[in-house]
Each structure stands twice: as structure tokens, then as C-alpha cells.
Amino acid sequence: MDQVRLIPFVLEEVIDAVNEEVPYGIKMINAPALWNEDIKGNKTVVAILDTGCDVKHPDLKDRIIGGKSFVEGEDDYTDSHFHGTHVAGTIAASLNNQGVTGVAPEAQLLILKVLGKDGSGSYESITEAIKYAAGWEGPDGEKVRVISMSLGGPEDVPEMHDAIKEAVKADILVVCAAGNEGDSRDDTPELSYPGYYKEVVQVGAVDEKKNIASFSNTNDEIDLVAPGVQILSTYPGGKYAKLSGTSMATPHTSGAAALLIQKEEKEFGRRLTEPEVYAQLCKNTVPAGHSKKAEGNGLLFLNPSQGEKQEAPGAAEEEIVS
């Protein structure tokens, strides 16, 4: 059996320091509008299955609630690569007057290291980490609400699929990258697992102009698209970097789910089920003008109003599909 790997991505640029900045992708999905309503993902736990995280990064150190390594020979969950740190920043980099800000700047991160310094890991490790996330409980009784996986491989592994099904039954939303094997053709599907499983939220990538990224996989299980080109986020050593890939679109969606969980549970006055969180996520999309196999329900766009759904100019409302 092949190992699972980081979904291919492009490291565009490493930057030593930035003044506090809200990256374009965060603005593009309208996250700051929810911050203005004091919805910042407070106390919502997102488990990140990746290469670990720079736990001392000034934008991330206050966001991490715990972690564990599932990589043989790498006993701690610090980032021996850089991919996991970048993903973590897009989800939840703190709003702290420095660096960058994530989608849900008050969410809590459970760092589960499943990929090593070469960006690869075993399906067994990922399966065990999913099970661990589903059963994890924080010091104050916190539970994981979202699992974010910017990784994948060509094999449909029943044990991993079963673990995902159990996590979903435990009312955890599982968000996965679609993959970067795209050929810019909607009629030639590209499949990567776990992204292609129908139980997960499969995320494709768009650029700043809402065009489908040339690398973004297309298939009949795409749920939505989010920014994934030239994404600025955290990088080990207190630095920052721009990366491109569906790996970068995925954490935008995971962070958005954290915001919606806080917002909707406040309004409903109770805990939402996984299907309800998924439905809210799909409601917070707008058509981007591409086929369903490319964009699914559309472009992620968080609408803070309780009125009519905002739409892209000239676009009609689209049906929510799984």
C-alpha cells in the first residue's frame, strides 16, 4: 500500500515578517464581517491532521489546546516540515496586532501530526489520528468539532473511510482537500482520498479572481471552493509564507465551519449536529460561475446577515448538494 502524502502544493515565497494583515482569502470569504459580530470561533476545537505545528509561533502559540504525534521517530507534534504551520495559521492565527490573522482567530487547535519531515505518512497513522480526534476531550470537556485534512492519496482505504464515518457519526465535520491533479477540464475527474469520500466536505481552490485554480481536482463530489492561490499564512520560525494548493483552500473552510458553529449554536441555543453544520456551510456559499464538478455548491462566502442570501452579481441561487 502506498503512503499518503501532502497533496502537492507550491511554496511561492517565504517572508521574515509582516505587519498585521488580513490575507486576501480571509477577506474574500467575508470572515471579518462575522468578527464584527464577535463571532471568532471562540472555544471551537479544530483538529489539524498534518505535519505538526510551530507551537512557539507568535500567531499560533495561544491557539493550541493540545497535540500528539502519530509519526514513527518523530515523538513531538512540532512541525518538522512547514505545511502544517501554514494550514494552522489560515484556520486560526490570532488577532493580535502582528503577523497575519486566520479565519477563526479565537478557535482552538488540536495538532495531530500524521506526516513527517518528508511530507508523507501511513494510512494507519491517519486512521488512528482520526479515531483519536473523535474520542478526544479537553481539560474543560471540550470536544473536536472539525477535522481538517490537507492531505491525500490515490487509494480508497476502508479502515480510514470507516474512521471518518465514525467521526461524522460523532457530529464532527470532516474537511478535506480535493487534490491538485487537476487538468482544467471538468469532464475528466481526478480522485484523491479521503477528499472523494461522500462523508467529507471536499474543497477545491480558486484564485483571487474567483477562477478555478488550474491544479484543482474536479469530480462529482466537490462540495465547495475557497481561496487557494498565493495564500499568505504562518511559517515555522516565526515567519510567514505564500503557498498555493487545495491544501490552502481547505483551512479556509475549516475555519469558516468554526465560525458558523459558534454563530448558529448561539442562535439555536443548542449544539448542532454534523448534518446541520454541513447545511450551514453550504448555505454560506455563492455561485462563482463554474460547473458543479468544479465548484460544487459554490464559493465559500460567510454572510453575517439573517436576511436573504447574498449572491454574486447576476447569479441565481443554486441547490445545495452533498
Identified catalytic residue from 50, 54, 207, 223: 50
Residue with grid cell 507568535, as numbered in its chain: 58
Catalytic-residue membership of 247: yes
Catalytic-residue membership of 83: yes
* Ordered DSSP codes for 56-108: T-TTTTTTEEEEEE-BTTB-S-B-SSSHHHHHHHHHH---SSSSB--SSTT-E
Task: State the amino acid at position 146 in one-letter form.
Answer: V
Identified catalytic residue from 122, 233, 244, 247: 247
Greatest CA separation found in the chain? Answer: 54
Nearest alpha-carbon partner for 36 in 228, 278, 302: 302
Task: State the amino acid at position 112 in one-letter form.
Answer: L
Instruction: Give the length of the chain.
Output: 322
Identified catalytic residue from 54, 79, 81, 83: 83
Catalytic-residue membership of 50: yes
Nearest alpha-carbon partner for 33 in 300, 316, 317, 320: 300
Task: State the amino acid at position 28 in one-letter form.
Answer: M
Alpha carbons 12 and 16: distance in angstroms, whole number: 14
Catalytic residue numbers, as ranges: 50, 83, 247
